[in-house]
Amino acid sequence: MTGFAFDLPTVWALLVAFAVLTYVLLDGFDLGVGLLFPWIGDGEERDLAMNSIAPVWDGNETWLVLGGGGLFAVFPLAFAIVMPALYAPLIAMLTGLIFRGVAFEFRWRGERGRPWWDRGFFLGSLAATLAQGIALGALVQGIEVEGRAYAGGWWDWATPFSLLTAIALVVGYALLGATWLVMKTEGRLHDRALAAARPLAFATLASIAAVSAWTAFLDPVYMQRWLAWPALLYSAPMPIATGLAGWLLIQGLAAGRDVRPFLAAQSIFVLCFVGLGIGFYPYILPHDVTIHDAAAPDSSLIFLLVGAAVLIPLILAYTAHAYWVFRGKVDPRAGYH
Amino acid sequence: MDALDAVLLARLQFAFTIGVHIVFPAFTIGLASYLAVLEGLWLWTGDDRYIDGFRYWLKIFALTFGMGVVSGIVMTYQFGTNWSVFSDKAGPVVGPLMGYEVLSAFFLEAGFLGIMLFGMKKVGRGLHFAATLIVAAGTLFSAFWILSVNSWMQTPAGHGIDAAGRFVPEDWWAIVFNPSFPYRLVHMVLAAYLSTAFIVGAVGAFHLLREHTNGAARIMFSNAMWMAALVAPLQLVAGDLHGLNTLEHQPAKIAAIEGHWESRAGAPLYLFGLPDMQAERTDYALAVPHLGSLILTHEWEGEVPGLSDFAAEDRPYAPLIFWTFRMMVGIGLAMIAVGLWSLWLRWKGRLYDDRRLLRTVLLMGPAGLVALLAGWITTEAGRQPWTVYGLLRTVDSASPIAAPAVASSLAVLVVVYVVVFGAGIYYLLHMMGIRPHHGEEGPHRGTPVRSAGITPEASLAERGATP
């Protein structure tokens, strides 16, 4: 190893973290639209909400597979410990995503089935979000490891803390969904989303404060990491930056701005993710398994890095292109259906 | 006993989810190539019936591809949930191979599917044909990686084992092109082509039985019968070569398939029999003398292995794979017979006129997929009791998860799959029931289709140009 820049496990940890963050930012808002579905008027409004995410949601979910597949390929030990530890939430997430994925397509195939697939869309989004929130909580609170395997029971993930993170993520994704609809739609759906976004913004900020405070007392290591030098340099501005983003969000909503609330909400997610990363590093499973413990041998890491270096920028470029093509408000007449 | 039950349930779960999954990619692989052929013939001949057929199957392709993607996501995660020790130990080898599969599949979705499905008017014929060809090549590329993983588990090569008991890649070329890989790849791709051919043939036959002169249906039926006549015999040869390769690397699997207990020269072929694992014999055997040796060694007095050569704990479960193998071969022979029958009628100029052939082909619509599943059960159950053949036992590969957890997740997955893929197959059959007609349209523009990919703007961009 010739230093940080060429340390393959670190490079891959950044890549996998990037895939997971991209997933949260992108699928977060379309899962959020699903979470808001029961409060969106039947008929035209729902069609419009669907149309606003139809062109991009599949690409958004791609990042989950890249993150999960990447974890298997380059950090097989972490994959082997996390998956059994999160057994039930993962099954719930996968079935939720299946339902929601096909509901998207099947709801257009006939009037008769549509109310059922709409319900599937909401419940699938809810199950997937709750499961992801629980997974986050379970990871942060720590997983019992013995040797090279998960050593806990199959209900260990169910704690008051993981319940809190699950609710926090539902609130947060709903906020992303609401601000997305504010940005992308007009008329009654826009007004409805705007009305929902305000309380969701406050609830999200409160949840972040609650989760952060609880995390600091959960394991003193987190506190030490956040307050240690030089990490303090990065972690100290985090609450300030989050507060600023929160102010921009609430102020933007009050001023009836279209784009700013969405970007502010996304920044809040980025800041939280970075804060989490500082608390984790150099562990991949706090505080048992480090990035280096979990990494596959360099021969595996290099082999896949070649392909990833070529294909991930291409996928990013395509994705950016898709968002560019679909920029602006969704035209209710020209959308899907 | 409890641990064993959890392992058995985990195996059942894997078998169920992959059994549902494999049907969609197999059909996708075959259909992608068929679509390329149809579009190529259309460009070459200018005959509009080809483009009608192309657009007809394109709609079905879109939905099938989507269901393949959805059912595939579960597979990746299942390696971790139920087979975590396998993931830890074999991950450094199989993980990157699967990583390449994921990357290439998404690369395709990102770029070319949208153009293939919706972009005909936007990019012009030449570029569109290029997109179709790339999609067809891409589905084969996906199969390449997945079959490489599977073959490595059957005939591992190119790896070392480190202090933690992990398989460590040493020679990627030897890993990817492990000894059984070329045979398995050819056998599987031909199986995908034949399965697709018989579905296409059945749809053609269905519509010909109702409308004898339907042009697009005639093309489907004729193409499918060419495939039966040419590819089914080829598959017999490929299967034979694959069998010889298996005899070399996995003799216990062959012994179980054959129902042979004692190794011997000039072994018979059992057409029928009930292998009994406890009594170590095959009951009610209906034997053809010497044929077993002839098939396996291509010699009248060839030496073939018996299950008794292997320790009891190293034997695959013969009663299952004895029969799945015969089911696969039986269907394969029936396909060859249909191919010959069609050649005869074609020569007589009555290919579309004999309703007995049309009805037979209609009945045989799902035959290819059944044979493909039977073949996969044979090779996978025949790999037992190992996950990495000869090196890592299945019982030592599973997650530390209790049986009730595996059982409940299996139950949840069965319910969800029945609802979701039941609905999907219903929609597919509904589409196949619609009569192909002149001026066939492509996939409905403006309908979200998962397989429109991650940049489906083509599906919307074109709408402005059409009334």
Range A241-248 average pLDDT: 92
Please state the φ and ψ torsions of residue B460, each to the nearest 5 degrees: -100, -35
CA torsion B284-B288-B293-B299 (nearest 10°) is 170
Nearest to A212 by CA among A161, A246, A167, A250: A161
Which among A188, A210, A216 is positioned nearest to A39, based on CA atoms?
A188
What's the confidence (pLDDT) of residue B220? 92
Residue B26 has pLDDT above 70, yes or no: yes
Contact B409 A91 (CB under 8 A): yes
Please, what is the angle between helix B318-347 and helix B355-363, to 10°?
Answer: 150
- Give the whole-number percent of chain A exceeding pLDDT 70: 96
Report CA A330 to chain centroid distance, whole Å. 24
| All structural domains of chain A with their residue ranges | 27-325
Which range has the worst mean pLDDT, A320-329, B77-86, B153-162, B168-177?
A320-329
Kindly determine whether residue B84 and residue A108, on different chains, have CB atoms separated by under 8 Å. no
pLDDT single digits (tens) B336-359: 999 999 999 999 888 898 899 999
Which pTM value belongs to this model?
0.88
At B466, the pLDDT band (50, 70, 90 cuts) reads: very low
Which SS3 state, helix, strand or coil, does residue A285 take?
A: strand
Give pLDDT, residue A1. 41
Q: Given CB atoms, is A90 within the 8 Å cutoff of chain B?
A: yes
B167-174 long-range contacts, Cβ below 8 Å, gap at least 24? B167/B89, B167/B90, B167/B92, B167/B93, B167/B388, B167/B391, B168/A297, B168/A299, B168/A300, B168/B92, B168/B93, B169/A297, B169/A299, B169/A300, B169/A303, B169/B92, B169/B93, B169/B96, B170/A299, B172/A299, B172/A303
Give the per-residue pLDDT at B4.
59
B4: exposed, middle or buried (Cβ count in 10 Å: 0-12, 13-18, 19+): exposed
Query: Rounded distance, CA B52 to CA B47, Å?
Result: 9
Give percent of chain B with pLDDT exceeding 70: 92
Q: What is the pLDDT of residue B372?
A: 96
Query: With contact defined as beta carbons under 8 Å apart, do B292 and B258 qualify?
Result: yes
Model confidence band, residue B3 (pLDDT cutoffs 50, 70, 90):
low
Mean pLDDT on A105-130: 86
Task: Tell me: ipTM over 0.95.
Answer: no
Q: What is the share, in percent, of chain A residues with pLDDT greater than 90? A: 42
What pLDDT, on a 0 to 100 scale, did the predictor assign at position B459? Answer: 47
Query: How many whole angstroms separate alpha carbon B421 and alpha carbon A98?
Result: 10
- How many other CB atoms sit within 10 Å of the CB of residue B384? 20
Give the model's confidence band at B95: pLDDT under 50 very low, under 70 low, under 90 confident, else very high.
Answer: very high
pLDDT in tens, B366-382: 999 999 999 999 999 99
In this structure, chain B runs to a length of 467
Section B323-335 average pLDDT: 95
- A337 pLDDT exceeds 60? no
Burial class (CB in 10 A: 0-12, 13-18, 19+), A136: buried
Q: Retrieve residue A337's tokens.
A: 């259906």
CB B227 within 8 A of CB B189: no
Q: For residue B427, what are its two tokens?
A: 């929609």
Judge whether A301 and A12 are in contact, CB under 8 Å.
Answer: yes
For A251-289, the pLDDT digits (tens) are: 999 998 999 999 999 999 999 998 888 888 888 888 888
User: A145 has which bridge partners?
Assistant: A150
Question: Which pLDDT does position B278 carry in this prediction?
Answer: 86
Any B CB within 8 A of A319 CB = yes
Among A30-34, B104-108, B109-113, B365-369, the least confident range: B109-113
**Given this model, what pLDDT does residue B252 score?**
92
Tokens (6 digits) for B286: 């209906």
The distance of Cα A81 from the centroid of its chain, to the nearest Å, equals 21
A65 to chain B: nearest residue by CA?
A: B73
Please list every residue in chain A whose beta carbon sits closer than 8 Å to the beta carbon of residue B81: 83-84, 87, 90-91
Distance CA B319, CA B326 (A): 11
**Percent over 90 (pLDDT), chain B:** 50
- pLDDT tens track for A149-196: 888 887 888 899 999 999 999 999 999 999 999 998 888 899 999 999
Residue of A nearest to B82 (CA): A84
Residue B78, phi then psi, degrees to nearest 5: -65, -30
Question: Which residue in B36, B40, B44 sits closest to B61, CA to CA?
Answer: B36
Q: B393: how many CB neighbours lie within 10 A of its CB?
A: 16
Inter-chain touch B95–A76, beta carbons under 8 Å: yes
Mapped onto helix, strand or coil, the DSSP state of residue B358 is helix
Residue B361 binned pLDDT confidence (cut-offs 50, 70, 90): very high
Contact present, A300 and B93 (Cβ < 8 Å):
yes
pLDDT-derived band at A137, boundaries 50, 70, 90: very high
Start-end of H helices in B290-402:
291-297, 318-347, 355-363, 367-381
Q: Which H or E element spans position A3?
A: none
Is some CB atom of chain B closer than 8 A to the CB atom of A32?
no
What average pLDDT does range A81-96 have in this prediction?
Answer: 90
Tens-digit pLDDT profile for residues A32-55 = 999 999 999 887 888 888 888 877
CB-nearest partner of A94 from B73, B405, B464: B73
Please state, rounded to an integer, the average pLDDT across all residues of chain B: 87
pLDDT at position B462, please? Answer: 41
> For residues A185 and A178, what is the distance between their CA atoms, to the nearest angstrom?
10
pLDDT band at B461 (very low <50, low <70, confident <90, very high): very low
pLDDT score of B446: 52
Rg for chain B, CA atoms, rounded: 23
Distance, CA of A207 to CA of A167 (rounded, Å): 8
The answer for B 230-269 residues in CB contact with A (under 8 A) is none
- Distance in angstroms between the alpha carbons of the first and the last residue of chain B: 67
Q: Does residue B456 have a pLDDT over 70?
A: no
387-406 in B: which are within 8 Å (CB) of A?
Answer: 399-402, 405
Contacts (Cβ under 8 Å, ≥6 apart) of A256: A194
Section B174-184 average pLDDT: 95
In angstroms, rounded to a whole number, what is the distance separating the alpha carbons of residues B425 and B369? 14
Tokens of A121: 């869309």
Neighbouring residues of B435: CB distance < 8 A, sequence distance ≥ 6: B207, B210, B211, B214, B217
Confidence (pLDDT) at B463: 40
Whether the pLDDT of residue B76 is over 50: the answer is yes
Whether A73 sits inside 8 A of B99 (CB atoms) is yes
Nearest CB to A69 within list B102, B452, B453: B102
φ/ψ (deg, to 5) at A188: -65, -40
- Res B212 pLDDT > 80: yes
Closest CA relative to residue B185, chosen from B147, B135, B154, B153 = B147
